Structure formats: structure tokens, C-alpha cells
Amino acid sequence: MFIYVLSRRKLIITFLLLIITIGLFSLSQHMLSIPSLVRTPGTYYMSHTQEKVVALTFDDGPDPIDTPDVLNILKAKKVRATFFVLGKAAQENPYLLKRLINEGHEIGNHSFTHNYPQSKFMVEMSQTDQVVFEATGSHTYFYRPPRGLVTKTQLETIKQNGHIVALWSVDSKDWRNPGVKQIVDNVMRDVFPGAIILMHDGGYQRSQTVKSLGTILDSLQNLGYRFVTLSELKSLDSEMK
């Protein structure tokens, strides 16, 4: 029988390699747990078009303080956007839903509470759709799951319910409150024709979002971009025609 005896040095090297391997595996598992937006099959995160057009989207509202400020800026710049509302916030501020529709914006569904057992996602989606319908007379068409997390089974269920799961391709990261300049830089660095831009008008104090919005709109318009709702962006997708 052959017995191989490792030296102390080889034992240390083997141990370090084992630790590195475990660390890399853990990192890869963590990365897989983060929603890979561009690689989520069956979701809508961009439009395939060469035209300089983007869809600006806002999550977690409507908020009685920040949403009106966002709407005032959009109105002044003659820009329309898509707002993914939380049912609970919408129920508390139905007048803002009416203002969204009256000013030409589109309303998407972002669940009722943003924090719920996954088994209740259809209930949450239906509740929000009902709140929107009662305030505006219109049903939601696009659904954005909180944090962009959706399983294959949920995706099929949502489609069967008549909704399209809409994610994003440019994250402003305004939810981190990284500073106004950084929010602007995040958008301008990653934007491309057909992109869906993620921002927030509720869920937390959004003064940085409000302060960055005008600069983002001006900068993109200066580059020749125009803004459309998600439905309009989808109609421009060459792969949908």
C-alpha cells in the first residue's frame, strides 16, 4: 500500500486552495441570487431598436411629497414616463393616480406592499390592479416584481393573468441615495437606444432623485434621445413586429 505524506507547506497550500475554492463558489452563488436582468428569459427589459428612444420608469410611489415634484419636472420638460405603483401607496393617494393619467403617463403594477410571502404575489398584484382601476378606470398591463425577482413559475402565471413582466436595463441606483451626481452618471454611463431606466419616486426620501431628474432629462435630450412610455417602447421593438 502506498501512503503519501504531505509536508506542512503542502498542507498549508492545499488548505488555502480549498478556502479560495469555497470562497469563489460562495461568491458565484451570491451573484446568481442577484437578478441578472439582461439574462432573465421571458421578461421585458429593453427594446430592440436603433432609434434614440428610452422609457423612464419610477417605482414605489405614489408619494405625496416626491411624486408631485417628479411630475412637475416631467411636465415642464414635456416628458411622459411609466410609474410602477404600490397598491397601498396608491390607495392612500388616489388623486396622484388620476394626475398620472391626466398628464399622459402610464401606470404599472409593483405589488401591493412590496414585502410579502411569495405565495401571495398574485393576490398582491390583483389588489393593486383593482386600486388602479377604481381610481382611473384602467387596468395595469406591465408588472414589475419587487427587487426584480421572479421565478419561472411566477412568470408563466403572470403572463396567463394578462400582464407582462417589465424589468429594466439601466439602473440609476437612486435607491442607494449615492448623491445627485452619481445618479446622473449611472444613467448617462449605461444608457443606449431602447433602454428602460429605473428610478424611484417613493419608498423612501427621494430628494436626490428629484434633484437629478432635470439634469438626466436635459442630458439625454441633448444627445438626441426622446422619452416614451413602456407601451410605446414595446411597439418600437423590431423583434415584436
pLDDT digits (tens, 9 = 90+) for 132-141: 999 999 999 9
Which pLDDT score is estimated for 241? Answer: 55
Give all domains of the chain, ordered by start, each with its CATH number. Answer: 41-235 (3.20.20.370)
Averaged pLDDT for residues 83-87: 98
CB atoms under 10 Å from CB of 187, counted, come to: 26
Does the structure show a pLDDT above 90 at 128?
A: yes
Closest CA to 110 of 168, 54, 152, 64: 168
180 — phi, psi (to 5°)? Answer: -60, -50
Catalytic residue among 59, 63, 66, 129: 59
The rounded distance, in Å, linking the Cα atoms of 204 and 166 is: 22
Catalytic residue among 110, 163, 200, 201: 200
Tell me if residue 59 is catalytic. Answer: yes
CA atoms within 13 A on the CB side of 171: 12
Under 8 Å between Cβ of 218 and 81: no
pTM over 0.85: no
Q: How confident is the model at residue 117 (pLDDT cuts 50, 70, 90)?
A: confident
The rounded distance, in Å, linking the Cα atoms of 54 and 42 is: 20
Tell me if residue 60 is catalytic. Answer: no
- Residue for cell digits 416628458? 79
Number of H helices, E strands in the chain: 9, 8
Longest dimension (CA), the chain: 85
CB atoms under 10 Å from CB of 52, counted, come to: 15
Q: In DSSP terms, which residues pair with 164 in a beta bridge?
A: 142
Closest CA to 61 of 119, 132, 122: 132
In eight-state DSSP terms, residue 64 is: T
Under 8 Å between Cβ of 101 and 138: yes
